Amino acid sequence: MKVTKYKVNTFIALWRTTKLFIHFSYGAIKVFLFVKHYDDAKKAIILQDWSKKLLNILDIGLIIKGQMPAKLDNTLIVSNHISWLDILIIFTVIRPKFVAKKEIAEWFIIGQLTKAGDTIFIDRNNKKDIMQVNRQLSSELSSGNCIAVFPEGTTSKGESLLPFKASLFEPIYQSKGKILPITIQYKDCDGKITSRPSFAGEVSLLTSIWRVLSCYQLTVTITFHELLMSRHYPNRNALALAAQEVIRSDWD
């Protein structure tokens, strides 16, 4: 009878940790010393390259399903949210501006890298801040930019989908733009959904990182769904619900 392995031995986990430390240090040097000299396009390329190398270091396989649209102008990308890895994984295939909770800005290196990618940080407990960010997003989208958000408002274990917060759909509804729903799912060596990378509940960031480092074989699947046109929906609530149901279908 075959015994399924879910963890690597300590030596391999520590070897990954060493490589991860070197990779983060390299990223830190670029962020602190050179990033101010780059334009937005160059910064996005650097962050995308850094994110791809991170997946290699962590031995995370990447599977892409569906078809990414050729143009992402005036587009809001909406995704479920599981891990600290999510932003970096999305960056390996797309280069949007992100909206993320303000706490991420304080994370070691990851915070600096997301800042370098022109991430817009939001205090979800401050209604004034949400309104201000929404005005900024409306301007960005109307100018033809692509923005990515996690409308669950928090991380989950990745085993199901949390309800979407409709307020994050207001900017794209006002700009009469497009919604690109995408699904992120982490799977183990048996192809089953796993919560090991999750950064939810009482799980600390360091615990989540170690679980990833010690995972035997981890694969992340990104699924691109069909575009939703905001003009086809009567209000932001209906738009949020439609996007939520599209993504939820990946668990049916």
Query: pLDDT tens digits for 199-248?
Result: 888 888 888 888 998 888 899 999 999 999 999 999 999 999 999 999 99
Evaluate whether 27 touches 114 at the Cβ level (below 8 Å): no
Q: What is the pTM of this model?
A: 0.86
Distance CA(128)–CA(136), nearest Å, equals: 13
SS3 annotation, the chain: CCCCCCECCHHHHHHHHHHHHHHHHHHHHHHHHHHHHCCHHHHHHHHHHHHHHHHHHCCEEEEEECCCCCCCCCEEEEECCCCCCHHHHHHCCCCCEEEEEHHHHHCCCHHHHHHHCCCEEECCCCHHHHHHHHHHHHHHHHCCCEEEECCCCCCCCCCCCCCCCHHHHHHHHHCCCEEEEEEEEEECCCCCECCCCCCCCCCCHHHHHHHHHCECCEEEEEEECCCEEHHHCCCHHHHHHHHHHHHHHHHC
In the chain, domain spans: 10-251
* pLDDT tens track for 46-87: 778 888 888 998 889 999 999 988 889 999 999 999 998 998
pLDDT in tens, 155-165: 899 888 999 99
pLDDT of residue 222: 96
> Measured between alpha carbons, how far is 20 from 27 in angstroms, rounded to an integer?
10
Class for domain 10-251, per CATH?
alpha beta
